[in-house]
Amino acid sequence: MEKRADTILVTGGAGFIGSNFILHWLANESANVVNLDKLTYAGNPANLLSASSDRRYKFLQGDICDRDLIAELLITHRPRAIVHFAAESHVDRSIHGPDDFIRTNVNGTFSLLEEAREYWAGLTGAEKDAFRFLHVSTDEVYGSLGPEDAAFTESTRYSPNSPYSASKAASDHLVRAYFHTYGLPVLTTNCSNNYGPFQFPEKLIPLVILHAIGGKPIPVYGDGQNVRDWLFVTDHCEAIRSVLTRGKGGETYNIGGRNEVKNLDVVNSICSALDELRPNDPVMPHAKLITFVTDRPGHDRRYAMNATKIESELGWKPRETFETGIRKTILWYLENDAWIQGVTTGAYRQWMATQYSL
């Protein structure tokens, strides 16, 4: 890795969104990237194999709760920005075991903020003016919408309904407090549901793809009418770059895909595409595999994001429609069997059996 001042520190960069962001960054920016990731079950170095030979990229395994490690990284690499993805992010896992979510999402964010504050306080001149702490969060902090309710805006009252969303809401509040109390130049982004390459197959879209091609039951919670706004991960990465470059310190930016789709419609879209792409799969049509299962506790009915602020102030808009994005996603999973085999271990299969009783 080249020794120069222009560096960013990414936390959780071996996860789904973080790894896509690093690949996107290296393809579009000149600055170095230091990637700090604990490598829990959802962190996968294989996501970044194509970056491993890039001199601008450095990976370090470590925990964001380790303040001594964070302090050392900041002193050694002197980043101009911290882009904070590291989080426990699966609602179902937060229901079964909320402890990890509080530790990582709340305590970990606090540790980062404290070390970033001390580091920033020691900067001077242009370095201090340029520094940013970008906190990546979720639309789930806003709670649930009714069918006719207006989409979430940056001023929507927080109303989290799961241990996961409550932990992210707490981290958002900490970030805001560090701006107003200490002046730390923070930025917060709240995104809608991401999908695309490298997503761990406990999440809806990759789970449906893998179960469909394997002839396994496709679990759908409740009546399948829950609505989500779907955001292709590369669009999200571009939005984060825009916020980091042009966002105003202390501000929050909602990032959405303008693609509200019911869960059952998502599943049927994938099944229809696979009918065309995989006509020799074990079960045809693939929609025969749809199996309705008991709804999860506190399942939010609808999320929708009003992204007018980032579109009007920063000039960002999503490039992908749901139709184009889901096609790209399906093709990626069909073409990357080695990656799939690497993540669907015995532990993954045990989790699926426990969660869905299938």
Residues identified as active-site: 139-140, 164
- Longest CA–CA separation in the chain, Å: 64
CB 222 within 8 Å of CB 228 = no
CA 239 to chain centre: 13
Q: Among 20, 10, 43, 14, which residue's Cα sits nearest to residue 134?
A: 10
Rounded to 10°, the helix 204-214/322-335 angle is 50
| Beta pairing class for 290-293 and 218-221 | parallel
Both structure tokens of 47: 């996501």
Which residue bears the tokens 């969104």?
A: 17
Q: Among 210, 227, 226, 208, which residue's Cα sits nearest to residue 218?
A: 208
Q: What would the DSSP string read from start to end of 192-244?
A: -EEESTT--TTSHHHHHHHHHHHT--EEEETTS--EEEEEEHHHHHHHHHHHH
